[in-house]
Amino acid sequence: MLRVATAQFETGKDTDRVLADILRLADEAAAGGARLVHFQECCNYPTSYTDREHAWREAVTLEGPLVSAIRAKAREHGLFIGFNAAVRGPFPKAWMVNHLIGPDGEYIGSNKKQVLMWIERDAFFPSDEDGRVYDTEIGRIGMISCMDGLVPETSRTMACLGADIVLNSLCSNGVDEANLHIPARAAENGYFMISANRVGDMVKGQDLQDLIDAAGMTRDFVKGAGESQVVGPDGMPLARATHDDIGLVFADIDLSTLEREDRMARRRPELYTLMGEDNAALAALAEDRAPAGKVALTTIVPGGATFDERLAQAREMIASAPAGLAVLPEFFAWDLGDDTRLDEATAALIKAAAEARTYLVAGLPGREHGKRVNRAVLFGPEGVIGEYGQIHADPGSNDMALGDDLPVFDLPFGRLGLLLGEDLLFPEAARVLARKGTDLIACPTAWREDWHHELMLTARSAENHVTIVSAGRSDSLCAKPGTVCTTPPEYRFPQTKEVNAPDRHMAPSLTGAFTVEVDLAPNRDKRLMGATDLIMDTRPELYGAILALRESVPA
């Protein structure tokens, strides 16, 4: 077991006090038996700058007093220390940088922040180099910063480079980071994530009032959200601090429980190439989209005991649902493993869609070269429009024929993409669809674990600003009701303290029909805080590891 600690305290312009807090908390971490302690973003100075020159002046150098003092403290206790402090380069360049110090006081390495948030964009430059993972005696360690964890690519790069532990430094007042994004990143990558966030006021006096005025929020809403935590490979917190207490939390982690290799083994990098293409090229992919508008979204989950009962129930529910889009589960009418009577079910769905003048997505079985195929088939009023074959294999499956494409379909209410339940565990799939201009993803599912529904479904909607409609089998290993996740009609941080969380609508029962009317138009605004774009501000040139183009650079 490896004991680790993560800290939280108040940032501020009183930099001597901040450094003293860091050193004191490092003493406490060592006294508590930790081998590693991690600190939050902006340890050198809060993100309260007048311009780039100001940010450059306040940035540190690696030979300066802050880094030197932390190196000495690491050497004193034989402690690994992770922290974030801006570093200056040739004027006017400065970067927000994560640093890792070893137990001998050596400077192991750093990662620059890749995606900048809100006012950071006016003060700093985004990273100009690939992220790295560093081999150490306690495991392979990667580092990311705050906004980097609100998009999937930076964290995914760390997993592709073999990280066991990822240190995430935050300067956030968003409550959804601790409750959604950090657990989702740990779970989808199968590694441990140690996050450290600030508490209290970021600045004091007139600076605080200026920040409140600029943000248009109350003092409470610009306070740090805290909840520094250690999260396991299943997305479950092993230790989590409160919203406002200064101090440390400790956790004992077991690297033998890592699930990263399983997650990585089933990836399909050859299908993710769009993630590496220049963002400027994406506009052409969205040129001919229909306007995104309002649509009735219905999940339909039959509950009968036989094929005939389930098919009959599905037809009845389709007939009574409002016209729009209805989604049925994986293999909606079949017992798992059965693929007979496919023509009969297909004909029934063609007729049902035509009579109801609606669109349907249903999970259907198939066979290809003697192997089973998991398909999502799109039906419209005029018949079968297209289909999608699951691209990521189910765990332990040796008899699946996998698809090799992520198609999109233009419908009257917006652009539709298709996934199947297992694909939600792989952020690349939904990301490719989002980069193709998708507004809506229909996802027949058979849930296997709670975090697949609670974290993966929600995270895929949030990080892409897309609506996802999931209908899960009522006999799933982890049965969940039909669920619709969608981008809120307005940015709600000033009301909810959530930086990027979708609205979630869940059916009241595991079976039956459940309808939500959703406006897809808000999905086309990918910005957070009116500034950082979830798609256009990503860094495709840094994602070679995701596309299996390059490996980690040794420390």
Are 300 and 254 found together in one domain?
A: no
**Which sign does the torsion angle of CA 79, 84, 89, 95 carry?**
positive
Q: Tell me: pLDDT of 541 over 70.
A: yes
Write down the pLDDT at residue 550: 59
Provide the mean pLDDT of the chain.
95
| Residue 270 within any structural domain of the chain | no
Last-in-domain residue among 258, 273, 305: 258
Are 127 and 187 found together in one domain?
A: yes
| Residue 266 within any structural domain of the chain | no
Mean pLDDT for 420-448 is 97
Write down the pLDDT at residue 211: 74
| Residue 335 within any structural domain of the chain | yes
Are 218 and 349 found together in one domain?
A: no
CB contact at 8 A, 352 and 300: no
| Comparison of pLDDT for 25 and 368, the residue scoring more | 25
What is the domain range of residue 460? 295-524
Q: What is the C-alpha separation between 465 and 144, in angstroms, rounded?
A: 22
Selection from 111, 184, 180, 101 nearest residue 144 by Cα: 111
Are 448 and 505 found together in one domain?
A: yes
pLDDT in tens, 221-248: 778 899 999 999 999 999 999 999 999 9
Q: Which residues pair with 169 in a beta bridge?
A: 145, 196
CB contact at 8 A, 253 and 234: no
Least confident of 182-191, 392-401, 477-486: 392-401
Write down the pLDDT at residue 218: 81
| Residue 17 within any structural domain of the chain | yes
Write down the pLDDT at residue 207: 77
Count structural domains, the chain: 2
Mean pLDDT for 89-100 is 97
Last-in-domain residue among 258, 280, 305: 258
Q: Tell me: pLDDT of 552 over 70.
A: no
Last-in-domain residue among 230, 258, 286: 258
Q: CA angle 117-120-126, nearest 5°?
A: 80
Write down the pLDDT at residue 555: 39
Write down the pLDDT at residue 554: 40
Q: Which residues pair with 314 in a beta bridge?
A: none
Are 335 and 235 found together in one domain?
A: no
Mean pLDDT for 409-435 is 97
Least confident of 111-115, 141-145, 215-219, 416-420: 215-219
At residue 539, φ and ψ (nearest 5 deg) are: -125, 75
Q: What is the C-alpha separation between 165 and 541, in angstroms, rounded?
A: 24
Are 476 and 360 found together in one domain?
A: yes
Are 348 and 440 found together in one domain?
A: yes
| Residue 533 within any structural domain of the chain | no
pLDDT in tens, 297-335: 999 999 999 999 999 999 999 999 999 999 999 999 999
Query: What percentage of the chain exceeds 90 in pLDDT?
Result: 87
Are 311 and 252 found together in one domain?
A: no
| Residue 285 within any structural domain of the chain | no
Are 372 and 511 found together in one domain?
A: yes
Write down the pLDDT at residue 545: 96
Write down the pLDDT at residue 230: 98
Query: What percentage of the chain exceeds 70 in pLDDT?
Result: 99
CB contact at 8 A, 229 and 507: no
| Structure confidence at residue 525 as a pLDDT band (50, 70, 90) | very high
Q: What is the C-alpha separation between 328 and 352, in angstroms, rounded?
A: 13
Are 322 and 418 found together in one domain?
A: yes
Q: Tell me: pLDDT of 551 over 60.
A: no
Write down the pLDDT at residue 549: 67
Are 332 and 409 found together in one domain?
A: yes
| Residue 284 within any structural domain of the chain | no
What is the pTM assigned to this prediction?
0.96
Q: Mutual orientation of helices 65-77 and 15-31 as an angle, nearest 10°?
A: 10
Are 165 and 43 found together in one domain?
A: yes
| Structure confidence at residue 108 as a pLDDT band (50, 70, 90) | very high
> Could you tell me the CATH number of the domain that includes residue 322?
3.60.110.10
Neighbours of 175 (CB within 10 A): 18
Q: Tell me: pLDDT of 141 over 90.
A: yes
Q: What is the C-alpha separation between 539 and 537, in angstroms, rounded?
A: 7
| Residue 534 within any structural domain of the chain | no
pLDDT in tens, 29-73: 999 999 999 999 999 998 888 899 999 999 999 999 999 999 999
